[in-house]
Amino acid sequence: MERKPYPTDLTDEQWQLIEPLLPPAKSGGRPRKTDLREVLNAIFYLNRAGCQWRMLPHEFPPWKTVYNYFRAWIGDAVWAEILATLRIEVRLQDDREITPSAASIDSQSVKTAEGGERGYDGGKKVTGRKRHIVVDTLGMLLAVAVTAASVDDAQGAKEALASVDSDGFPRLRVVWADSKYHNYELYRWVAEHADYKLQIVSRPVGAKGFVLLPKRWVAERTFAWLGRARRLSKDYEKLIETSEAMVMISAIHTMVERLHSSNNQPEFAYRPPKRRAA
């Protein structure tokens, strides 16, 4: 790479993890000239820095090219495949089985900036969207569903849990949740569609303010990790599917950093402030 690296750039080791998971060029037509590593670097930069597509630095491929790959990989479920593969690598690195036996679910309401599907969350007093995530005990993302903020947590949980099935997660036996998921309709849905049970972790009686709940803090920590991406400070996407993709991209970036820490830090020289003459 001739340009100076950004902190979000993939290292050689990280690129080797992701490269085999990207779809090959389509047969026929002109050979592919776009560097897919630079496409990913641009997407990770946008996700972490929070800039607009048209404001991507000119060192990257043209923004429209990067965006087209981003959208195509949503339709081809490439982001989901990368997420699933890297999650297995993280679990193996931590001496875990490749699929979890327990998980946690939680939601986060955020304001929107670009319109599209939205609603009002009366509990959080937020007009926007709600992110529903399911994570394993390491905090690695299993599933994400984005809805209007007005959607009840139990209904949003169904959308998130629908992709956590016995085919992909045969060892899963329990999903921990807080009291907002204490919903008999949700219990019936889980009993009919899943092999695991939903276990509510309640706050201690008489507790006031923030309380760190056993098991449940793992999902809250994952939201904190996702919060490092400025693109997720609000929901800047017009479409639900691109909102979900941005959450997955942030989780993917977290996992590649966990597997192979990046040393691509920008070079700068510290200059002490000038002192005024006495």
Q: How would you classify the pairing of strands 126-136 and 141-148?
A: antiparallel
| pLDDT for 114 | 79
Residue predicted with more confidence, 190 or 207: 190
Tell me: the pLDDT tens digits for 19-76?
Answer: 999 999 888 878 889 999 999 999 999 999 999 999 999 999 999 999 999 999 999 9
Q: Is 265's pLDDT higher than 50?
A: no
Q: What is the mean pLDDT of residues 75-94?
A: 97
pTM: 0.89
The answer to whether the CB of 229 falls within 8 A of the CB of 48 is yes
> Measuring CA to CA, which residue among 124, 192, 183, 196 is closest to residue 156?
183
Q: What is the band of 201 on the pLDDT scale with cuts at 50, 70, 90? A: confident
CA 206 vs. chain centroid, Å, equals 34
Tokens 């993280």 sit on residue: 90
